[in-house]
């Protein structure tokens, strides 16, 4: 009896010791070893704490910034200096440790790169294994797909891109223009009714309608007659987006998302509803036997494949957020700069006349294209481009070990005077007069749609959506910022106006 008890106790102690060593390695030794490897190369940063890394440091810096912001009145003045409010730790640590620095989120080691030469080498990397960070799949997979073209890497990513990319070639998009125009006109008619009811001039909340419009366009492009179910999926995705944003502060802490809090339960419940809706769409589309984006996925990956569900979610969410965000901020900037609004409107009216937009006409809208590029430069939809090294990789003078996350702060690079000039923070569409290649010293650092071999496959689709939305709106209405509008951004996986966007609109 005593011997059996002793053996059991010994086994328990061995198991406990192994478990303790595993946790010690996971939360402390491995992250510390990676930081030491980086530090030996001159990549410094704030010292991490056990388990939480630098999360508490980030919270402290954000609270200090919030306190300073509370002492200031919120203005309706349009300023592009939002990174210092939303991610003040990035700017502080760049100032303290240089353009390449490291920090920890939990046990996740991150190297943030603002050095132009290093970023340029990052952009030129062509390894399919150099994919999105594992945390994106683990923490955002329920929204973006666990194995989608957005979150996958290696052979899986290469196959998915080969299948999906042709669905967004220009010849396919050209056939969607009439559908996009029809959807956009329905929103404009809604706004026109609001103006008539208000006596000619109305304060219109445009950001929510632009989200719905973008969602409808993508739904129709992907599902055709089933787009109404697609719209329901989008509504659930917005709920899921808000829920996931509540967990943003805990990204990098292993296992936290599995703690059965109300938010975690709601995330799983809404995620399950979205998956079921996508599967229903898949069955309906398969039975209809009509060519569509979804049918292409089924033909290549097999009916019921999780890859199909993941890609539908990923394309839905990232696609509609990018376009809606771009259109919203373009309207804010044009409302704040009426001289540019008039210039672009004159171009649109001259090209369109009384006709609807077509692909050929959209290509002729040079000023509108400049404004869209400038908007994406000042308000890139997401703050960072993220990757994770699956093997030791060298960028410039730095050898980055396996398992390190690399963050490129797109929004900071897009407004760096060293690349864009002294007016980098200003609305100056003229910089794109001769295209992206002449807009700045290093044009490959302009990356609102990503960079390299992982550039967004839906880039042309999104640009066409933006041109149609803006050209139709400019041809029918004049607009200015409503006195109710307060220019304050928030971050919920993407940048968005915290209090929405109200425009004072009048029919031409």
What are the tens digits of pLDDT across the range 9-30? Answer: 777 777 777 877 777 777 778 8
Residue 170 or residue 1, greater confidence: 170
Tokens of 283: 């069955």
The mean pLDDT value for 96-112 works out to: 96
Q: Is 422 helix (H, G, I), strand (E, B) or coil?
A: coil
Q: pLDDT > 90: what percent of the chain? A: 56
- Separation between Cα atoms, residue 263 and residue 268, nearest integer Å: 9
**In the block, residue with structure tokens 């719209």:** 231
List of domains in the chain: 24-128+383-412 (3.30.43.20), 158-381+448-508 (1.10.630.10)
**pLDDT tier at 251, thresholds 50, 70, 90:** confident
Res. 508: pLDDT tops 80: yes
**pLDDT tier at 263, thresholds 50, 70, 90:** confident
Tokens of 434: 């001769």
The mean pLDDT value for 70-86 works out to: 68
Return the sign of the alpha-carbon dihedral for residues 415, 420, 425, 427: negative
The annotated binding site is made up of 456
Q: Is 399 helix (H, G, I), strand (E, B) or coil?
A: strand
- Separation between Cα atoms, residue 240 and residue 226, nearest integer Å: 22
The region of weakest confidence among 45-49, 204-208, 221-225, 294-298 is 221-225
Quick count: other Cβ atoms within 10 Å of Cβ 249? 14
Res. 38: pLDDT tops 80: yes
Q: What is the DSSP string of 273-341?
A: HHHHHHHHHHHHHHHHT---HHHHHHHHH-TT-HHHHHHHHHHHHHHHHHHHHHHHHHHHHHHH-HHHH
Res. 424: pLDDT tops 90: yes
Res. 76: pLDDT tops 60: no
pLDDT at 78: 66
pLDDT at 77: 57
The region of weakest confidence among 73-77, 93-97, 325-329, 463-467 is 73-77
343-364 core/surface letters (b: 16 or more CB in 10 A; e: else)? bbbebbeebbeeeebbbebbee
Mean pLDDT, all residues of the chain: 88
Res. 502: pLDDT tops 80: yes
Strands 100-105 and 398-400 turn out to be: unpaired
3-state helix, strand, coil in the chain (%, to 5): 60, 10, 30
Q: Is 175 helix (H, G, I), strand (E, B) or coil?
A: coil
- Separation between Cα atoms, residue 77 and residue 499, nearest integer Å: 14
pLDDT at 176: 93
Burial class (CB in 10 A: 0-12, 13-18, 19+), 73: exposed
The mean pLDDT value for 211-230 works out to: 79
Phi, psi of 105 (to 5 degrees): -110, 105
Q: Which residues pair with 502 in a beta bridge?
A: 205
**pLDDT tier at 226, thresholds 50, 70, 90:** low
The region of weakest confidence among 58-72, 302-316, 345-359 is 58-72
Nearest to 333 by CA among 79, 143, 85: 79
**In the block, residue with structure tokens 């102690």:** 13
Q: Is 384 helix (H, G, I), strand (E, B) or coil?
A: strand
131 and 391 in contact (C-beta within 8 Å)? no
Q: How many helices (H) and strands (E) does the chain have?
A: 21, 11
Tokens of 43: 């990549």
Quick count: other Cβ atoms within 10 Å of Cβ 462? 27
Res. 1: pLDDT tops 80: no
**pLDDT tier at 75, thresholds 50, 70, 90:** low
The mean pLDDT value for 478-500 works out to: 90
Q: How many residues does the chain have?
A: 508
Quote the DSSP letter at residue 110.
E
User: Cα 20 to chain center, whole Å?
Assistant: 38
- Separation between Cα atoms, residue 78 and residue 84, nearest integer Å: 15
The mean pLDDT value for 288-314 works out to: 80
- What is the model's pTM? 0.92
Residue 372 or residue 224, greater confidence: 372
The annotated binding site for heme is made up of 456
pLDDT at 128: 72
Res. 255: pLDDT tops 80: no
**pLDDT tier at 131, thresholds 50, 70, 90:** confident
344 and 473 in contact (C-beta within 8 Å)? no
Nearest to 108 by CA among 393, 434, 388: 388
pLDDT at 201: 94
């Amino acid at each position: 009896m005593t011997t059996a008890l002793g053996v059991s106790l010994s086994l328990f102690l061995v198991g406990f010791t192994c478990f303790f060593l595993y946790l010690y390695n996971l939360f402390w030794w491995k992250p510390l070893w990676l930081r030491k490897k980086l530090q030996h190369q001159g990549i410094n940063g704030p010292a991490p704490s056990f388990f939480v890394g630098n999360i508490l440091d980030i919270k402290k810096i954000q609270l200090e910034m919030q306190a300073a912001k509370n002492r200031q009145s919120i203005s309706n003045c349009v300023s592009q200096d939002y990174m210092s409010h939303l991610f003040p730790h990035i700017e502080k640590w760049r100032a303290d440790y240089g353009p390449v620095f490291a920090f920890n989120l939990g046990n996740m080691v991150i190297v943030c790169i603002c050095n132009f030469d290093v970023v340029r080498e990052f952009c030129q990397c062509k390894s399919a294994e150099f994919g999105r960070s594992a945390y994106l799949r683990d923490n955002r997979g329920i929204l973006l797909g666990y194995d989608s073209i957005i979150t996958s890497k290696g052979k899986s990513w290469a196959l998915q891109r080969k299948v999906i990319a042709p669905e967004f070639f220009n010849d396919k998009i050209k056939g969607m223009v009439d559908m996009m125009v029809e959807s956009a006109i329905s929103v404009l008619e809604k706004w026109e009714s609001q103006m008539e009811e208000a006596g000619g001039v109305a304060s219109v909340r445009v950001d929510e309608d632009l989200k719905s419009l973008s969602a409808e366009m993508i739904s129709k492009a992907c599902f055709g007659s089933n787009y109404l179910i697609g719209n329901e999926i989008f509504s659930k995705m917005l709920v899921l987006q808000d829920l996931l944003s509540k967990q943003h502060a805990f990204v990098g802490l292993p296992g936290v998302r599995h703690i059965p809090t109300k938010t975690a339960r709601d995330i799983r419940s809404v995620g399950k509803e979205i998956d079921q809706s996508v599967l229903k769409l898949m069955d309906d589309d398969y039975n209809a036997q009509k060519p569509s984006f979804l049918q292409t996925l089924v033909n290549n990956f097999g009916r019921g494949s999780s890859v199909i569900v993941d890609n539908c979610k990923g394309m839905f969410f990232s696609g509609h957020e990018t376009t809606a965000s771009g259109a919203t901020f373009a309207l804010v900037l044009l409302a704040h700069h009426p001289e540019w609004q008039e210039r672009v409107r004159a171009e649109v009216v001259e090209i369109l006349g009384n006709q609807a937009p077509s692909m050929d006409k959209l290509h002729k809208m040079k000023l509108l294209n400049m404004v869209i590029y400038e908007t994406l430069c000042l308000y890139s939809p997401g703050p960072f481009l993220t990757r994770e090294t699956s093997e030791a990789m060298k960028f410039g003078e730095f050898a980055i070990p396996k398992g390190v996350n690399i963050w490129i702060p797109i929004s900071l690079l897009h407004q760096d005077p060293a690349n864009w000039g002294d007016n980098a923070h200003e609305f100056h569409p003229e910089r794109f007069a001769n295209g992206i290649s002449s807009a700045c010293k290093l044009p490959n650092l302009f990356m609102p749609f990503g960079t390299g071999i992982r550039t967004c496959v839906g880039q042309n689709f999104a640009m066409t959506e933006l041109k149609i939305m803006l050209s139709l709106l400019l041809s029918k209405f004049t607009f200015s910022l409503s006195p109710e509008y307060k220019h304050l951004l928030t971050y919920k996986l993407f940048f968005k106006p915290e209090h929405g966007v109200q425009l004072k609109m009048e029919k031409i």
